[in-house]
Amino acid sequence: MKKLSVRRRHPLAALVVLLIALAATGGLYATFAPADKAKAEESSAQSLAIDEGKKLYQVGCASCHGTGGQGSSDGPSLVGVGAAAVDFQVGTGRMPLQQPGAQAPKKPVAYSQTEIDQLAAYVASLGPGPAQPNKSDYDPAGGDAARGGDLFRTNCAQCHNFIGKGGALTHGKFAPDLGGVTPKHMYEAMETGPQNMPVFPESLLKQKDKQDIIAWLDTVNSDKAEEPGGYGLGGLGPVSEGLFAWVIGLVLLIGVACWVAAHTAKARKS
């Protein structure tokens, strides 16, 4: 102890302490950060994706959204829309836009999922926004369909109809049929509010709420939806039912009437 107290005023003491501190920090860092190499790789993969995404962006998107995603008179700014918005818009074929109109319709997808992810990475790098959700967020198997139905009727049915068969909005805009939309895309749509749809962020509909809504749609408007009453006539309600009653029901019955009228008793010739 004495030696230490004698030499603590030594001119080189500060240097020694500094060296020891550096060595300790370095040692600790070397010990506790074994993932160093992987981190660096991922980060370079990320920047690679951003680079690739940027190239795709310059070719496919920049003419409307601007070279830096800042937007133009032909398309909105993409700063802050997030990866989820890109994954939805490009992943459902809505982007790249076919033609200007009331609303971008769903159409065949132009990019592979890898390219979409690269585009998403680039757009996400422009500003913070909703990321792509994890499977556990949107998996319909984990949702409560009954609760989701109630939420759907409160928040979504005004535009999308009782079971998400779609509906009309003003001036040619529309809320699309949700049959056949993947759960992931539904989740992303709620998070990002594409086209004319409002945004439903976490403060409005929590992750669980969204998952429940997806579970409801999976129950009533998907390939596995049961139709206990028979063929569902598109789920459009009284208009298609009335049309069916006239065109099939009444026409059949009038046909039967003609048949009965044509088969009459013949007077017996004697």
Partner 1 sequence: MATATDSRRPASKGEKVADWADGRLGIYGLAKANMRKIFPDHWSFMLGEICLYSFIIIILTGVYLTLFFKPSMAELVYDGSYGPMNGIHMTEAYASTLDISFDVRGGLLVRQIHHWAALIFIAAMAVHMMRVFFTGAFRKPREINWLFGFLLLVLGCIAGFTGYSLPDDLLSGTGVRFMQGAIMGMPLVGTYLAMFLYGGEFPGDDVIPRFFSIHVLLVPGIMLGLLVAHLILVFYHKHTQFAGPGRTNKNVVGMPLLPVYMAKAGGFFFLVFGVITVIAGAVTINPIWVLGPYRPDQVSTGAQPDWYMGWTEGMIRMMPGWEWVIPTGHTINFGVFIPLMVVGVIPIAIALYPFFESWLTGDKREHHIADRPRNVPTRTAFGVAWLSWVFMCMIGGGNDLWATHLHLSINSITWFVRIGFFVVPPIVFWITRRICLGLQRRDRDKVLHGRESGIIKRLPHGEFIEVHEPLAQEEMHTLTAHEQYRPLEAGPKVDENGVVRKQGVVERVRTKLSKNYFGDAGQIPKPTAEEYREVTSGHGHH
Q: Which residues are annotated as part of the binding site for heme c?
A: 61, 64-65, 156, 159-160
Least Å distance between CB 98 and partner 1?
A: 13
165 touches partner 1 (CB under 8 A): yes
DSSP for residue 245: I
Q: How far is CA 45 from CA 23, 38, 39, 87, in A?
A: 31, 10, 10, 19
Helix (H, G, I), strand (E, B) or coil at 32: helix
Using CB under 8 A, which of 150, 195, 199, 222 touches partner 1?
150
Residue 136 or residue 264: which is nearer to partner 1 going by CB? 264
Least Å distance between CB 156 and partner 1?
A: 9
159 touches partner 1 (CB under 8 A): yes
Q: Which one of the spans 16-24, 35-43, 185-193, 256-264 is the region binding partner 1 (CB under 8 A)?
A: 256-264
Least Å distance between CB 234 and partner 1?
A: 9
21 touches partner 1 (CB under 8 A): no
Residue 2 or residue 226: which is nearer to partner 1 going by CB? 226
Using CB under 8 A, which of 4, 38, 229, 268 touches partner 1?
229
How would you classify residue 255: left for phi > 0, otherwise alpha for psi between -120 and 50, otherwise beta? alpha
CA-to-CA distance for 31 and 34, rounded, in angstroms?
7
The residues in 40-59 that bind partner 1, with binding defined as CB under 8 A, are: none
Residue 45 or residue 257: which is nearer to partner 1 going by CB? 257
User: For the purposes of burial, counting CB atoms within 10 Å of the CB of 43, is it exposed (0-12), middle (13-18) or buried (19 or more)?
Assistant: exposed
Q: How far is CA 211 from CA 91, 112, 134, 187, 218, in A?
A: 20, 26, 11, 8, 10
**Cβ 7 vs Cβ 13: under 8 Å:** yes
Residue 201 or residue 234: which is nearer to partner 1 going by CB? 234
Q: Examine residue 96 and say whether the peptide bond preceding it is cis (omega within 30 degrees of 0).
A: yes
Chain contacts with partner 1 (rule: CB under 8 A): 102, 145-147, 149-150, 153-154, 157-163, 165-172, 174-175, 216, 219-220, 227-233, 235-246, 248-250, 252-254, 256-258, 260-262, 264-265
